[in-house]
Structure 1
Amino acid sequence: MIGSLLVGLLVAIIAAAITNRGENMGCVGKILLGLAGAWVGQFLFGDWGPHIADTAIVPSVLGAVILLAIFWKRGS
């Protein structure tokens, strides 16, 4: 459980660095973004690449980038 939360945070931090969005989300918001991004990414792109705590990192980051690009404005 704690491992999944940390992976969600890691995924969201990587996605925010790639897109330059979501700087002011806070820790809980980033964890939720990372978990939702992991779900979306693994649903769309499958379960490939390196795994941490049973979460495929590459598809998870791609899913989080998609969510940030759709739902988050720059600078907000």
Structure 2
Amino acid sequence: MSILWMLIIGGIIGWLAGLLTGRDVPGGITGNIIAGFIGSWLGGLILGSWGPVIGGFAIIPAIIGAIILVLIVSFVLRKMGQNKNRNHHAK
């Protein structure tokens, strides 16, 4: 049951990050869960583990880490799309 709880909390963290940044997390629910897990790890590295802990996630650092992750992924995907369009027009 704890794995299911972690997946739910990870998904909510990823969803919140997408909502707060105004950007969609690629991959839908799975993308939200992945963003929540990686964001939690990233937030823990940058900010440490503090604040309320739910489902094994320190919520505040996890959300901040997930926001950073969503912004980075959004930036990279945008740049890849620009490069793809440039290459397509060059042919």
Give TM-score scaled by structure 1 length.
0.88
Query: Of the candidates 4, 7, 12, which is equivalent to residue 5 of structure 1?
Result: 7
Q: Report deviation, 1:30.
A: 0.9
Higher relative contact order (CA 8 A, sep 6+): 1
Give TM-score scaled by structure 2 length.
0.74
Across the aligned residues of Structure 1 and Structure 2, the Cα RMSD in angstroms comes to 2.0
1:15-64 superposed Cα distances (whole Å, 9 cap, x missing partner): 11110011553111111111110110111101111110121000000000
Aligned partner of residue 49 in structure 2, secondary structure:
coil
Quote the residue 2:53 is aligned against. Answer: 51
Query: Of the candidates 67, 70, 91, which is equivalent to residue 68 of structure 1?
Result: 70
Which sections of structure 2, spanning at least 5 residues, go unmatched? 78-91
Q: Report deviation, 1:13.
A: 1.1
Q: Which has the larger radius of gyration?
A: 2
* Equivalent residues of 2:25, 2:70 under 8 A apart: no
**What CA distance in whole angstroms lies between the structure 2 residues aligned with 1:4 and 1:10?**
10
Runs of 4+, deviation exceeding 6 Å = none
Work out the number of aligned pairs and report it. Answer: 76
Is 1:41 the counterpart of 2:26? The answer is: no
Task: Note closer, same or farther for the CA distance 1:23–1:55 as it changes in structure 2 (3 Å cut).
Answer: closer
Which sections of structure 1, spanning at least 5 residues, go unmatched? none
The share of aligned pairs that are identical, in percent, is 34
* Equivalent residues of 2:16, 2:63 under 8 A apart: yes
**What CA distance in whole angstroms lies between the structure 2 residues aligned with 1:27 and 1:50?**
24
